[in-house]
Copies of this chain bind each other. A is one copy, B any other.
Amino acid sequence: MLEKIDLTKKMGKKEYKEVMEGLTAELSELQRECRNEKIPVMIVFEGLGAAGKGTLINQLIQSLDPRGFHVHAINGESEEEKLRPFLWRFWTKTPEKGRIAIFDRSWYRKVLIDRFEGITPEEELEKAYQEINNFEETLSEGGTAILKFFLYITKEEQKKRFERLRDSKETAWRVSEGDLKRNKHYKKYLQMNEEMLQKTDTDYAPWNIIEAMDREFATVKIITVVVECLKEALENKKRAAQKADKDAKLDENAQVNGKSAAILKSSMLSQVDLSLSYSKEEYKEKLDALQKKISLLHSALYKKRIPVVLAFEGWDAGGKGGAIKRLTSHMDPRGYMVNPTAAPNDIENAHHYLWRFWQTVPKAGHIAIYDRTWYGRVMVERIEGFCTTEEWQRAYKEINQFEENLYNAGAIVLKFWMHIDKEEQERRFKERQGNPAKQWKITDEDWRNREKWDLYEKAVDEMLIRTSTTYAPWIIVEGNDKYYARVKVLQEVVDALEKRLK
């Protein structure tokens, strides 16, 4: 993509001044419109050293309202970041709806500088490109406008700029050994950039090559592209809103037609043997042995820096809480965290639905337990209409990719569906209502959800089928007998940890 670029382009000061006046006013206005329309925007600056990323970003933000953007300078990974999946630090920096996140270098470090330095092994490259493309696609489909700039200068110009920086005492420190090495091996490094551009130039997040020899020209080109892209994003948003209206109407019809089809489908869940049980003695004995094992395994996986994700879903009163309690009661609290998932708050709602789960992704060596999870997207959000049909249908792929990211970072990922039948649920609801210490656990909403049992059953069935993967399997837990269910959860965790630690 780079060979066809004409690096001699320039712009005179006078022309620059005239063009900029109109452009910056337009940009200011567009930022306000995007804020009103709640469009999140990500602007990525990549390119060669001394191509002027800092100066050009500063030019760009001069026309922006500081209440609406944030500049992230992406250096090498910190200790904290090294302990988590590669995309963690970028997911957690994705902007709120209506805000702009500007990246001075970005997730592309991994396939550029870090590759050049040998920090990213060659065999991880394909996986990295894949993860990057999935990341951008997921965000783009979620409504984020993604703009990517690649700043391009010649080897000679780069050398000249480095020399000028090194000539002054105040700026000499800005030129690193790595910079000089990349200038020396300009061609080799450029080749890596070329490969990156080709592999990640997509329809949802295309690259813009910026001829960065002349600052005025580059500034105008960047701001022009930003202006065009924000206009397009506003158009897309409008179209998407119209489409959602239309889809909602289609959905209503489909639901009527879909009902008989649902009955024809046999449910995975109907095959579960809910008669499985343990006596109190069996339970105590097994529990005791498993808890002791877990305690030692927890210690061992901390030492080996293996991250673990345990996701719990299931019917209301299905025994998630009780199972989690037995699982953690002999663990070291410094090494695990229970993350309960309630309805999203303001801030969470202003981000992509996966954003809040990225926040709590475990560090290497730690266990993250989720009491309800990202699967809310394809269950409660689907059934209550909190997201569009298109959105929850897309979510299976997004969730699989999310879990694959965890797996690629070395994590053990297990997902438990705590299964009970409708009669057992009623028994437990009534028991809770009758017990003053447990009354707070049961609300009118629980009873309302119960009425939608059949809809949920269909959604769960589809979820289990579409998201059971080799890297993140679903484990259905026969839950009518609490003793049996708790032991099964612990046993599955022990088995998975032992298998990995061997």
Contact = CB atoms under 8 A, between A and B. Distances in A.
A25 B437 CA distance: 8
A58 interface: yes
Task: Give how many copies assemble into the complex.
Answer: 2
Interface in A285-334: 296, 299-300, 303, 324-325, 328-334
28 contacts: A28-B437, A54-B334, A57-B333, A58-B330, A58-B331, A58-B332, A61-B333, A62-B325, A66-B324, A66-B371, A67-B340, A67-B342, A67-B371, A71-B333, A71-B337, A78-B78, A78-B80, A79-B79, A80-B80, A102-B333, A104-B333, A170-B296, A170-B299, A170-B300, A170-B303, A171-B296, A171-B299, A174-B299
Nearest to A174: B299
A328 B170 CA distance: 18
Given A25-B437, A78-B78, A345-B346, A333 B67 contact: no
Contacts of A296: 170-171
Contacts of A71: 333-334, 337
Contacts of A325: 62
Contacts of A28: 437
Given A170-B300, A303-B173, A329 B80 contact: no
A230 B99 CA distance: 40
Interface string A46-73: 0000000011011001100111001101
Closest 4 CB pairs of A and B: A66-B338, A73-B334, A67-B340, A346-B346
Contacts of A333: 54, 57-58, 61, 71, 102, 104
A261 interface: no
Interface in A345-363: 345-347
Nearest to A28: B437
A82 to B, nearest CB: 11
A344 to B, nearest CB: 11
A193 to B, nearest CB: 21
Contacts of A80: 78, 80
A32 interface: yes
Nearest to A168: B296
Nearest to A341: B67
Max count, chain B CB within 10 A of own CB: residue among A71, A325, A340: A71
A186 to B, nearest CB: 23
Contacts of A342: 67
Contacts of A32: 440
A325 to B, nearest CB: 7
Contacts of A25: 437
A171 B292 CA distance: 13
A437 B329 CA distance: 61
Max count, chain B CB within 10 A of own CB: residue among A25, A61, A170: A170
Nearest to A369: B66
A32 B437 CA distance: 11
A58 B104 contact: no
A78 B82 CA distance: 12
Max count, chain B CB within 10 A of own CB: residue among A300, A333, A337, A346: A333
A102 B333 CA distance: 10
A328 B58 contact: yes
